[in-house]
A and B are shown apart, each in its own frame.
Chain A
Amino acid sequence: MAKRSYDLLFKLLLIGDSGVGKTCILFRFSDDAFNTTFISTIGIDFKIKTIELKGKKIKLQIWDTAGQERFHTITTSYYRGAMGIMLVYDITQPKSFDNIAKWLRNIEEHANEDVEKMLLGNKCDMEDRRAITRERGEDIARQHGIRFLETSAKANINVERAFYELSEAILDKGPNKDKAPEPQSLPKPRQELSKCCS
């Protein structure tokens, strides 16, 4: 039976063009491993990871979405419940950078107004094929008032930091009703029991 081994539940969402490395980022964070060969995500994928932040155990429920336009009608329905959104582009693919504005419009349209956003320029280990400078990433993030990091799922750069910073931003906003534990983790007496055992 499920036990409530966490204090807070945060729902995060990964979006961005196809092939920018969303699944790899998530895999690096959840399993601390890198796989160059990931099949394309069809629809939506899901991972859980519990982290500790400021003395609190936070369960992160992370949704990984398919990048292609066809899947938007399916994936935008997850925006609503998300408390944090990571928007990923690929520093070697200018097109994925150009599309940031489009993705931000999507967020504006479908997500909660107070959702925490973060921009990630992924594949920053591939310096020789870089097409988007770090400054351009910083600029666009500043313009839209969102956090920014360059990451590499492959070289394990800033991936953990990205998830922690985004979670911290959500945590700092203080308690609100969305952060209540999952209603499905019942019944209570048993939870306490299993908590003692674990």
Chain B
Amino acid sequence: METAAARSRRDELSAILQQEVVSLDQLRSCCFHGVPDELGLRPLCWKLLLNYLPEKKSKWESALVQQRNLYRVWTEEFIISPGKQDLPEDAVDSSSRHDITCDDHPLNPNPQSTWSTYFKDNEVLVQIDKDARRLYPDMCFFQRSTEFPLRTAGSDDGTKMVAAEYLRRRIDQCVLKSNAIVKNRSGGWNISGGAKRATQYLNLSGTEEAHWEVVERMLFLYAKLNPGQSYVQGMNEIIGPLYFTFSTDKDKTYREHAEADTFFCFTNLMAEIRDRFIKHLDDSSSGIISSMNRLMGMLKEADEVLWKRLMELDVKPQYFSFRWLMVLLSQEFALPEVLHLWDALFSDAHRFDLLLDICVAMLILIRDQLLDGDFAATMKLLQNYPISDVDQILCKAVQLRRRVLDNLEQLPEHPLELTP
């Protein structure tokens, strides 16, 4: 059963996407209420909203080819043959018989050394591995193998291997190496039988890759390309819904390139929210603490009684809104709701102001329960948010936004002082 409103929204969206130059403004106002699932247009809308695809349709093809090639080059450089580019040219050329160990070796104490970088990267990789594995554990999607694994150009013996195998070996190495020597009861050292593969791959063969391994590769590549930021827990929760959306595209070609497309959309998205992930920016105006303070300021403005109650109970914003804001509410709802919510978030012309409105709305919608509970009950509610109807939350958020805007119009003399 389809409502008339939904049908007209669907038609409108199709019309917008058929234009030679897609109007982002129109797209935003149309996607705000959710991209209808049955049309399968969400992947395309997100690529446009996240500025991955240009507005001019004629440029799509070349833009996609260029970015997907670039991704290919990066995976080759950073994952399949890492370190190569850091070594002097003659070291890579096998014919010159240059002994690279003179310049660099695993025990080189120089922090700039290729080996030292390699070991540091391994720590990051092990962390990513832990989190990629436990992404959306309630869904089987991420555990399943992808139809389009990333194959390497071909090794010496002519066989093609999946790129995930390189990271699997690296992780095995880290884990096994550390397992290899254990102190025995008498204080001596034993080499433990570490022949067993430390990591489990659910019987995936060397030619298969699980979706979570694709996520792992993207996050590792992102960490390599953004060393100042590296990998922070929570990035997995940001990239997960993007990758899910793109790799379930109805269009086969898009599906085939879901990895590269996800990577660049993720990079664009992170460019807008990364300050929340960076510790030393916590107190800056774009950091997570400022965002939480803004949220509480907006709550005070909208519902002072509720704000006061939270203060009395000493329920600090970081107890709940840290997570809400950092991972764009992706841990508070089931994936279908998250996708719907993100349609709206990505359609916000002032990203991500709407996120704050939504958080305030979430609080106000359960105000009666919050006002009634003690500290423990309040915490429980906020950490296991009880409402799953995203539309209801969005409605409330829009209402709140409108009220703030109306207030601004009524007081034209000092409009700026009222902005939260």
- Asked, given contacts A68-B127, A68-B232, whether A184 binds B313 with beta carbons under 8 Å apart, the answer is yes
Contact with A along B364-382 (1 / 0, CB 8 A): 0000000011111101100
Return B270 CB to nearest CB of chain A, in Å.
Answer: 14
Please state if B137 and A37 are interface contacts (CB–CB under 8 Å).
Answer: yes
**B282 part of interface (Cβ distance < 8 Å):** yes
**A136 part of interface (Cβ distance < 8 Å):** yes
Q: Name the one of A18, A36, A44, A94 contacting B233, with C-beta atoms under 8 angstroms.
A: A18
Please state if A42 and B178 are interface contacts (CB–CB under 8 Å).
Answer: no
Q: Name the one of B318, B323, B372, B380 contacting A48, with C-beta atoms under 8 angstroms.
A: B380
Q: Could you list which residues of chain A lie within 8 angstroms of chain B, going by C-beta atoms?
A: 1-2, 18-19, 35-40, 42-46, 48, 59, 61, 66-74, 77, 92-95, 128-133, 135-136, 182, 184-185
Please, which residues of chain B bring their CB within 8 A of the CB of A68? 127, 232-233
Please state if A18 and B127 are interface contacts (CB–CB under 8 Å).
Answer: yes
- Asked, given contacts A42-B233, A129-B179, A130-B182, whether A182 binds B331 with beta carbons under 8 Å apart, the answer is no
Please, which residues of chain A bring their CB within 8 A of the CB of B282? 73-74
Please, which residues of chain A bring their CB within 8 A of the CB of B372? 1
Return B296 CB to nearest CB of chain A, in Å.
Answer: 16
Please state if B137 and A39 are interface contacts (CB–CB under 8 Å).
Answer: yes
**B30 part of interface (Cβ distance < 8 Å):** no
Q: Name the one of A70, A94, A131 contacting B232, with C-beta atoms under 8 angstroms.
A: A70
Please, which residues of chain A bring their CB within 8 A of the CB of B327? 42
- Asked, given contacts A18-B233, A39-B331, whether A44 binds B322 with beta carbons under 8 Å apart, the answer is yes
Distance between Cα atoms of A163 and B131 in the complex (Å): 27
Q: Name the one of A39, A42, A136 contacting B326, with C-beta atoms under 8 angstroms.
A: A42
Return B28 CB to nearest CB of chain A, in Å.
Answer: 28
Please, which residues of chain A bring their CB within 8 A of the CB of B236? 40
Q: Name the one of A19, A70, A136 contacting B130, with C-beta atoms under 8 angstroms.
A: A19
Please, which residues of chain A bring their CB within 8 A of the CB of B319? 44, 46
Considering residues A38, A70, A95, A136, which has the most beta carbons from chain B within 10 angstroms of its beta carbon? A70
Task: Give me the 3 closest cross-chain CB pairs, A-B, nearest first.
Answer: A37-B137, A2-B374, A43-B322
Return A20 CB to nearest CB of chain B, in Å.
Answer: 10
Q: Restricting to B114-131, which residues have a CB under 8 Å from any CB of A?
A: 123, 127, 130-131
Please, which residues of chain B bring their CB within 8 A of the CB of A2? 373-374, 376-377
Distance between Cα atoms of A38 and B331 in the complex (Å): 12
Show 21 A/B contacts (Cβ-Cβ < 8 Å), sorted by A.
Answer: A1-B372, A19-B130, A39-B135, A39-B237, A40-B134, A40-B236, A44-B318, A44-B319, A44-B322, A46-B383, A67-B233, A68-B232, A74-B282, A92-B179, A94-B178, A95-B123, A128-B196, A132-B182, A135-B183, A182-B375, A184-B312
Considering residues A1, A19, A72, which has the most beta carbons from chain B within 10 angstroms of its beta carbon? A19
